[in-house]
Amino acid sequence: MSQHRHPGAPGRAGAVPALPDLPEATVARLPEYLRALHNLADTGHETVSSEELSAAAGVNSAKLRKDLSHLGSYGTRGVGYDVTLLIEQIENVLGLTQRRAVALVGVGNLGHALAGYDGFAGRGFRIAALLDADPSRVGEEINGLVVRHVDDLATVAAEESLAIGVIATPAAAAQQVADQLVAVGVTSILNFAPCVLSVPEGVDVRKVDLAIELQILSFHEHRKASLTALPATGGSALTALPGGFAATDTQEAIGT
Amino acid sequence: MSQHRHPGAPGRAGAVPALPDLPEATVARLPEYLRALHNLADTGHETVSSEELSAAAGVNSAKLRKDLSHLGSYGTRGVGYDVTLLIEQIENVLGLTQRRAVALVGVGNLGHALAGYDGFAGRGFRIAALLDADPSRVGEEINGLVVRHVDDLATVAAEESLAIGVIATPAAAAQQVADQLVAVGVTSILNFAPCVLSVPEGVDVRKVDLAIELQILSFHEHRKASLTALPATGGSALTALPGGFAATDTQEAIGT
DNA sequence: CGCGATTTGTGCACGTCTTCACAAGCGCCT
DNA sequence: AGGCGCTTGTGAAGACGTGCACAAATCGCG
């Protein structure tokens, strides 16, 4: 997080949608709630209690209620939440009512996979352009889109309003691509390259690094191994679990 | 995070490596420091100050120093940190001294990309097996590895000790795959499927969901758009920035 | 040998996030 | 109408993470 320290506009209950200024941790969980809600809607549920929804989203029910309370009071005591209404509200807050155009830069290994990922279209996004710096890749068609040269970014941006840029290039090229994205007015970037990006204030960057995730898991693996290596006193640290398959509570959502 | 509430072994300064029990937030940043340190080592730096390293890793220098202090005192006042020594220490803490075997389940769009991702080998991991449930995919060779059927998981696990499982299947199959991984003794899972996994206590799950990352960006985009829509009083909320390109401080590392 | 420049390591205060526990509110049944 | 069970929404407390600011430690130089 961070880079969200826009100081101005303190309260300013705007005439438009209210802008509740949610805690960052809450924002990071809303998409997970949304996914769970869509599942429930598809299986015919009309209402859902905080207990059920929190289980489906893998969080604590009190946390869920507090998160939702930040959006306003959309639940009914004694009953629960109206699934359809809640979906609408969350999509509204997340700004998913408009289908945002995403520019994907770098159609290598990972870029190819992202270009073919159907989770974008299903969740309020549309890949508007595929770009690459390698001339031999320009012209290739992936999933109905033709790869264009990254220097054509300005042209692409002129054709339609790009909301988000995704960087799936090697680390060495990432900063330059970020600069180009910023230059054409992109203010949100999802960076898959293993490097830190410098961007002007007001531009949001989120980073996804597969190697980092594995290394974090490695730490816990290492730690667990060291623990079992010392049988110590009490015993039954990892073995002899009570019921098994306890509800895993958080599972983290990368962000934060 | 969570699922790390192994209660036992309070202090227990073990004979082996010490097990300092680091804060989760620190663990999440260590890999980023490690990457920055490798960059520095490659460019010939022998020592580095907390200021330089923190800039390279995109964090606050005080935070960096506090993080490193949790590992012990490996810096020299007035001088900085020895790059090589620090790399060793961090790799040691993260358990990267042993090359861990990763099983990748699901060789669809994303799985293919992950199988070809060279960031694994370069960072202490080795893809030991590719697995899929689709018989038509079994036998395919990707990057020198032959895809095996997911039901052969037990055989694979018998051949070598699997440390980490990566799930890159559709959401519908993910829980079953997780169960199979757990059954053969895997205690760390990286889940790319957009769903919550139930696993026994003692098993760590980290989740990476591309759609969620985009939705979080969408929220901030939406928020920025609403702010500029109301010129309000003070003005210059996003426009007329002072210097531009300020050091972006965090940029988040998915997981938390 | 002593002094100043530099940089680490950390005490402390602050802000954010989480969790418990319970009052307030809603619907259903009698 | 009234009471009862259920569920939301929230106050308060505690855990956790962050960042400032400074003392302690080290090096280099005169």
Read off the pLDDT of each residue in B225-245 and give the average, rounded to a whole number. Answer: 51
Q: Using the C1' atom of nucleotide C5, identify the protein residue whose alpha carbon is closest.
A: B78
Instruction: Give the confidence band of A20 by pLDDT, cuts at 50, 70, 90.
Output: low
The two tokens of residue B225 are: 């758009």
Read off the pLDDT of each residue in B81-110 and give the average, rounded to a whole number. Answer: 97
- 3-state secondary structure labels for all residues of B200-245: CCCCEEEECCHHHHHHHHHHHHHHHHHHHHCCCCCCCCCCCCCCCC
**Could you tell me the distance in Å between the CA of residue A34 and the C1' of nucleotide C25?**
26
Burial class (CB in 10 A: 0-12, 13-18, 19+), A72: exposed
Q: Which of A112, A182, A103, A57 is nearest to B115 (CA)?
A: A112
Average pLDDT, chain A: 86
Fill in the amino acid letter for A123: R
Residue of A nearest to B172 (CA): A39
pTM: 0.87
User: What percent of chain B stands above pLDDT 90?
Assistant: 76
Instruction: Give the confidence band of A180 by pLDDT, cuts at 50, 70, 90.
Output: very high
Q: Which of B163, B164, B191 is nearest to B176 (CA)?
A: B191
Query: What DSSP designation does B184 have?
Result: T
pLDDT value at position B227? 76
Characterize A195-209 residue by residue with b for buried, 16 or more Cβ atoms within 10 angstroms of its Cβ, and e for exposed.
bbbbbbebbbbbbbb
- Residue B125 to residue A217: CA distance in whole angstroms: 11
Chain A: give the shortest CA distance to residue B133, in Å.
Answer: 19
Query: What DSSP designation does A197 have?
Result: P
Q: What is the pLDDT of residues A40-81, one digit of tens each?
A: 999 999 999 999 999 999 999 999 999 999 999 999 999 999
Query: Cβ contact (<8 Å) for A27 and B110?
Result: no
Q: Which residues in range 1-30 of chain B are in contact with strand D, contact meaning CB within 7 A of any of its atoms?
A: 23-26
pLDDT value at position A230? 60
Q: Which of B195, B209, B193, B224 is nearest to B254 (CA)?
A: B209
**Could you tell me the distance in Å between the CA of residue A202 and the C1' of nucleotide C14?**
25
Q: Considering only residues B14 and B198, tell me which one the structure prediction assigns the higher pLDDT.
A: B198
Q: What is the pLDDT of residues B50-76, one digit of tens each?
A: 999 999 999 999 999 999 999 999 999
Chain B: give the shortest CA distance to residue A202, in Å.
Answer: 6
Pair type for strands A188-191 and B100-105: unpaired
Q: Which residues in range 62-81 of chain A are in contact with strand D, contact meaning CB within 7 A of any of its atoms?
A: 62, 65-66, 68-69, 73-81
Q: Which of A191, A230, A252 is facing B256, going by the closest CB pair?
A: A252
Tell me how far CA of residue B94 lies from CA of A169, A212, B4, B21, B91, in angstroms.
Answer: 27, 11, 15, 11, 5
Q: Considering only residues A248 and B118, tell me which one the structure prediction assigns the higher pLDDT.
A: B118
CB A116 within 8 A of CB A142: yes
Q: Considering only residues B95 and B9, tell me which one the structure prediction assigns the higher pLDDT.
A: B95
Residues whose CB falls within 8 Å of the CB of residue A118, separated by 6 or more in sequence, listed in order: none
Q: Considering only residues B19 and A134, tell me which one the structure prediction assigns the higher pLDDT.
A: A134
Average pLDDT, chain B: 86
Q: Is the CB of B75 under 7 A from strand C?
A: yes
Angle made by CA atoms A129, A133, A139, in degrees to the nearest 5: 55
Q: Considering only residues B3 and B219, tell me which one the structure prediction assigns the higher pLDDT.
A: B219
Angle made by CA atoms B32, B199, B137, in degrees to the nearest 5: 80
Q: Which residues in range 102-121 of chain A are in contact with strand D, contact meaning CB within 7 A of any of its atoms?
A: none
pLDDT value at position B230? 59
- Residue A81 to residue A50: CA distance in whole angstroms: 8
| List of chain A residues whose C-beta atoms are within 8 Å of the C-beta of residue B124 | 215, 218
Instruction: Give the confidence band of B226 by pLDDT, cuts at 50, 70, 90.
Output: confident
Q: What is the pLDDT of residues A224-240, one digit of tens each?
A: 988 777 655 444 443 33
pLDDT value at position B231? 56
Q: Which of A105, A80, A215 is nearest to A168 (CA)?
A: A105
